C-alpha cells in the first residue's frame, strides 16, 4: 500500500466518506478503520444503554433514537460485536430505512414487530425520531400498544428521564444527552474536547499525529499541516467549541457526530487556512450558521484602523515580528505583497488565538474587542437559576437579572409605542383609541417560590417565573436569542423583522401581562402627552381625575 498522506487520512472525517456511516457488512479491516477507531469517544448515552442491557428482559423492545448522524449505528454495532450482548439480543441497526425494494420502512417495522413476542430475545433498534413518529401514525393496528408507547414517549411528558419506559418498550434518546453544557470555566463540551484531543494529540499511539509528523518532515501539504497545528492548540479548540455552542443556542443548529466530523474535515482540508475555512464553505451545515459570527464583521475603531494600516502597508515592527513567528506554524503573510482580504484573515486569526500565547503576542492587543460578554452573562444567569437555594446573596444577584434586565426589557418592548411611559416604571401600555393611549399600573416581580421549587434549567436555556400582583404567569423559556433582544431593548434598540423569532416569544409574554393588567383597579389615559386622565375603581365607585404632565 502507498504511503498515506494526512489529507488522505483526514478523509475518514468527511460525510462523503464510506466511513461516515457504520454498516453491518463484513470486510477486511485496514488502516482507515484504525484511524476511525482513533476518534472514538464513549458517550454517556452508550454507557447508560449498556448498563441497562445487562438486565433487559425477554420480549422487551429497546429503541435508541435521535437524529441522522448521531451515532446510533456506531453504538449498536459495538454492542452487536460485544460477547456480552451479541447472543442475548436481536439487533436492528437502522429502522429508518427498508432494505427491500418491495417494502417501506413502516412495512419493515410491522414485519419486525410481528415476529417479536414475549418470549423473544430483547430487541434493540436504532431509529430516527422522525421515523418513530411516522410509525406511531402509520403502523399496523395490531401494534397499537407499541404505537401508544411511542406516542407517550414523543409527548415528552417524562421530563427528559432516560431511559423512558412504557410497558415493554424503553427509549434512549440522544436529545437528552446534549453535547454542550454551560460551564463556569468555559469548557462547554467535554465530548468535542475529547474528540479533538483524540484527533490532534501528540501521543505516540495517535496515528493521525504520526502521519502529520511524516508529512511535515517531507514538506507535504503545508496548509493542511498549518491547520492541524492550529487545531492542536487547546485555546483554539475552546474558541471553536464556543462558536459551535452559540450556533446551537442562537441558530438552533443541532450538532450530530457526523456533522461535527465533516466540519473538522472542512476546517483542516478546506481551500484556506483554518481561520478562513471557519467562515467560508457554505456547503457545510455548521459553517452556514457560524458564518454570521465572523469576527471580521466587528467594526470597532481599533479593528478598522488595523485593516486600514495593514492594507496601506504602513510600518509596524511589532506586527512584522508577529508575522515572522507565524512561520513556525507554516502560516505565511508577506507584507510587501499585500493581497486583498489578508487583513480580514488576520483579524480572524487574532480572534482564534485569543486564548493562546504566540511570538510577541501582538494578537492580544485586540482581545478586548472579541469579548463575548453577552454569552458569558447568559451563562452566569443560567447557573444562578440552576443553583438557586434562596440564599440571600443568590437572591440579590438573581433579582438584578429579573428587575434590571428581564422585567425592564419586557416593559421597554410593551411601551415602545408610548414614549410618555419612559419614566413610569410600573405602567404598561394597553392600546390606543382615537389618539388616546390607555395604560395600567402593573406590578411584575419574580416568583421566588417557583424559581426555587421548579425545574428551571435546560441544556440550551432556562425558564423564568413571574408574578403579576398575586397571580403567577405560565413559565417562560429564555433562549440566547430572547436574552440578547432584552439586552438590546434596555439599551434603546428598536426591534425589526430580523428579530421575529424572539419577538414572537416577547409578544406572548406581553400578552400574558396585559391580560392581567386589564383587571387593574386603575387605568390611565394619555392624550397627546399633555394630560393624564386617571380612572380608579374604589368601593364600586369610579373616580375620574386629571392633571398636567
User: SS3 for 292-308, per residue?
Assistant: HHCHHHCCCHHHHHHHH
**Alpha-carbon dihedral angle through residues 420, 426, 430, 431, given to the nearest 10 degrees:** 0
**pLDDT at residue 393 in the model:** 95
- Sequence ranges of the chain with CATH classification 3.40.50: 44-176
pLDDT digits 0-9 by tens, 53-106: 999 999 999 999 999 889 999 999 999 999 999 999 999 998 877 777 778 999
pLDDT band at 499 (very low <50, low <70, confident <90, very high): confident
Q: What is the 3-state secondary structure of 443-476? A: CEEECHHHHHHCCCEECCEEEECEEECCEECCCE
Of 501 and 320, the one with more pLDDT: 320
- Which grid cell sits at 250? 442562537
Rounded-to-5 percentages of helix, strand, coil across the chain: 50, 15, 35
Closest C-alpha among 441, 40, 420, 433 to residue 206: 40
**pLDDT at residue 486 in the model:** 95
* pTM (2 d.p.): 0.89
**pLDDT at residue 356 in the model:** 96
pLDDT band at 453 (very low <50, low <70, confident <90, very high): very high
- Residue 144: what are its φ and ψ, rounded to 5°? -65, -25
Helix boundaries (H) for 464-525 = 480-489, 500-517
Q: Across all residues in the chain, what is the average pLDDT?
A: 89
Q: Give SS3 for 51.
A: helix
**pLDDT at residue 307 in the model:** 94
Report which listed range, 2-16, 350-364, 529-543, is most confident: 350-364
pLDDT band at 179 (very low <50, low <70, confident <90, very high): very high
What mean pLDDT do residues 192-197 have?
A: 97
Instruction: Please state, in angstroms and rounded to a whole number, the distance separating the CA atoms of residues 320 and 327.
Output: 11
What mean pLDDT do residues 138-164 have?
A: 86
**pLDDT at residue 26 in the model:** 65
pLDDT band at 537 (very low <50, low <70, confident <90, very high): low
CB environment 394-432: b (16+ within 10 A), e (fewer) = bbeebeebbeebbbbbbbbbbbeebebbeebeebbbbee
pLDDT band at 147 (very low <50, low <70, confident <90, very high): very high
Question: Which burial class, exposed, middle or buried, applies to 263 when counting CB atoms under 10 A from its CB (0-12, 13-18, 19+)?
Answer: buried
What spatial distance separates the first Cα and last Cα of the chain, rounded to whole Å?
A: 88
Instruction: Please check the confidence at residue 362 and state whether its pLDDT lies above 90.
Output: yes
Count H helices and E strands in the chain, helices first: 23, 16
- Residue 425: what are its φ and ψ, rounded to 5°? -70, -25
What mean pLDDT do residues 322-326 have?
A: 96
- Which grid cell sits at 365? 492587543
pLDDT band at 548 (very low <50, low <70, confident <90, very high): very low
pLDDT digits 0-9 by tens, 241-299: 999 999 999 988 889 999 999 999 999 999 999 999 999 877 788 898 899 899 999 98
Instruction: Please state, in angstroms and rounded to a whole number, the distance separating the CA atoms of residues 417 and 432.
Output: 9
**pLDDT at residue 251 in the model:** 87
pLDDT band at 459 (very low <50, low <70, confident <90, very high): confident
Sheet holding 522-527, edge to edge: 427-433, 436-441, 522-527, 531-538, 541-548
Instruction: Please check the confidence at residue 471 and state whether its pLDDT lies above 70.
Output: yes
**pLDDT at residue 16 in the model:** 80
Instruction: Please check the confidence at residue 549 and state whether its pLDDT lies above 50.
Output: no
Helix boundaries (H) for 316-362 = 317-325, 342-352
**pLDDT at residue 1 in the model:** 47
Give the rounded percent of residues in the chain with a pLDDT score beyond 70.
Answer: 93
Instruction: Please state, in angstroms and rounded to a whole number, the distance separating the CA atoms of residues 72 and 174.
Output: 9
CATH classification number, 44-176, choose in 1.10.150, 3.40.50, 1.10.8, 3.40.30: 3.40.50
pLDDT-wise least confident of 242-246, 410-414, 420-424, 495-499: 420-424
Instruction: Please state, in angstroms and rounded to a whole number, the distance separating the CA atoms of residues 324 and 342.
Output: 15
Give the rounded percent of residues in the chain with a pLDDT score beyond 90.
Answer: 68
Of 44 and 439, the one with more pLDDT: 44
Amino acid at each position: 500500500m502507498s504511503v498515506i498522506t494526512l489529507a488522505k487520512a483526514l478523509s475518514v472525517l468527511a460525510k462523503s466518506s464510506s466511513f461516515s456511516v457504520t454498516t453491518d457488512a463484513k470486510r477486511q479491516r485496514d488502516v482507515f478503520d484504525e484511524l476511525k477507531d482513533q476518534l472514538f469517544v464513549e458517550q454517556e448515552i452508550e454507557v447508560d444503554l449498556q448498563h441497562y442491557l445487562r438486565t433487559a428482559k425477554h420480549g422487551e423492545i429497546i429503541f435508541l433514537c435521535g437524529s441522522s448522524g448521531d451515532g446510533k449505528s456506531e453504538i449498536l454495532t459495538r454492542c452487536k460485536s460485544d460477547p456480552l450482548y451479541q447472543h442475548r439480543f436481536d439487533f436492528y441497526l437502522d429502522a429508518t430505512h427498508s432494505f427491500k425494494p418491495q417494502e417501506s420502512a413502516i412495512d419493515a417495522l410491522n414485519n419486525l414487530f410481528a415476529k417479536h413476542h414475549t418470549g423473544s430475545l430483547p430487541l434493540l433498534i436504532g431509529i430516527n425520531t422522525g421515523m418513530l413518529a411516522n410509525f406511531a401514525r402509520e403502523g399496523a393496528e395490531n401494534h397499537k400498544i407499541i404505537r401508544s408507547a411511542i406516542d407517550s414517549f414523543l409527548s415528552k411528558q417524562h421530563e427528559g428521564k432516560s431511559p423512558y419506559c412504557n410497558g415493554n418498550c424503553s427509549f434512549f434518546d440522544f436529545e437528552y444527552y446534549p453535547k454542550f453544557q454551560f460551564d463556569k470555566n468555559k469548557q462547554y463540551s467535554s465530548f468535542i474536547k475529547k474528540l479533538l484531543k483524540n484527533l490532534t494529540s501528540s501521543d505516540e499511539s495517535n496515528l493521525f499525529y504520526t502521519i502529520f509528523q511524516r508529512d511535515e518532515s517531507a514538506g507535504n501539504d503545508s496548509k493542511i499541516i498549518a491547520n492541524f497545528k492550529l487545531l492542536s492548540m487547546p485555546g483554539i479548540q475552546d474558541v471553536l467549541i464556543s462558536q459551535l455552542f452559540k450556533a446551537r443556542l442562537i441558530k438552533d443548529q443541532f450538532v450530530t457526530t457526523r456533522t461535527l466530523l465533516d466540519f473538522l474535515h472542512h476546517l483542516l482540508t478546506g481551500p484556506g487556512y483554518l481561520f478562513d475555512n471557519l467562515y467560508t464553505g457554505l456547503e457545510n451545515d455548521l459553517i452556514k450558521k457560524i458564518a454570521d459570527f465572523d469576527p471580521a464583521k466587528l467594526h470597532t475603531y481599533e479593528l478598522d484602523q488595523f485593516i486600514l494600516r495593514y492594507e496601506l502597508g504602513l510600518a509596524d515592527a511589532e506586527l512584522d515580528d508577529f508575522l515572522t513567528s507565524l512561520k513556525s506554524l507554516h502560516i505565511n503573510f508577506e507584507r510587501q505583497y499585500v493581497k486583498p482580504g489578508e487583513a480580514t484573515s488576520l483579524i480572524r486569526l487574532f480572534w482564534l488565538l485569543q486564548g493562546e500565547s504566540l511570538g510577541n503576542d501582538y494578537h492580544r492587543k485586540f482581545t478586548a474587542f472579541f469579548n463575548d460578554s453577552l454569552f458569558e452573562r447568559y451563562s452566569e444567569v443560567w447557573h444562578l437559576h440552576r443553583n438557586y437555594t434562596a440564599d440571600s446573596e443568590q437572591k440579590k444577584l438573581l433579582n438584578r437579572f429579573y428587575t434590571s434586565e428581564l422585567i425592564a426589557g419586557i416593559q421597554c418592548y410593551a411601551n415602545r409605542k408610548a414614549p410618555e411611559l419612559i419614566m413610569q416604571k410600573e405602567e404598561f401600555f394597553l392600546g390606543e383609541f382615537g389618539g388616546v393611549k390607555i395604560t395600567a399600573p402593573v406590578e411584575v416581580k419574580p416568583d421566588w417560590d417557583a424559581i426555587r421549587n421548579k425545574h428551571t434549567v435546560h441544556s440550551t436555556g432556562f425558564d423564568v417565573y413571574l408574578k403579576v400582583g398575586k397571580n403567577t404567569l405560565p413559565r417562560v423559556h429564555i433562549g440566547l436569542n430572547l436574552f440578547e433582544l432584552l439586552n438590546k431593548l434596555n439599551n434603546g434598540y428598536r426591534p425589526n423583522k430580523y428579530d421575529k423569532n424572539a419577538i414572537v416569544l416577547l409578544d406572548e409574554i406581553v400578552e400574558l401581562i396585559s391580560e392581567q393588567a386589564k383587571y387593574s383597579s386603575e387605568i390611565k389615559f394619555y392624550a397627546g402627552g399633555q394630560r393624564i386622565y386617571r380612572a380608579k375603581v374604589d368601593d364600586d365607585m369610579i373616580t375620574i381625575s386629571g392633571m398636567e404632565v
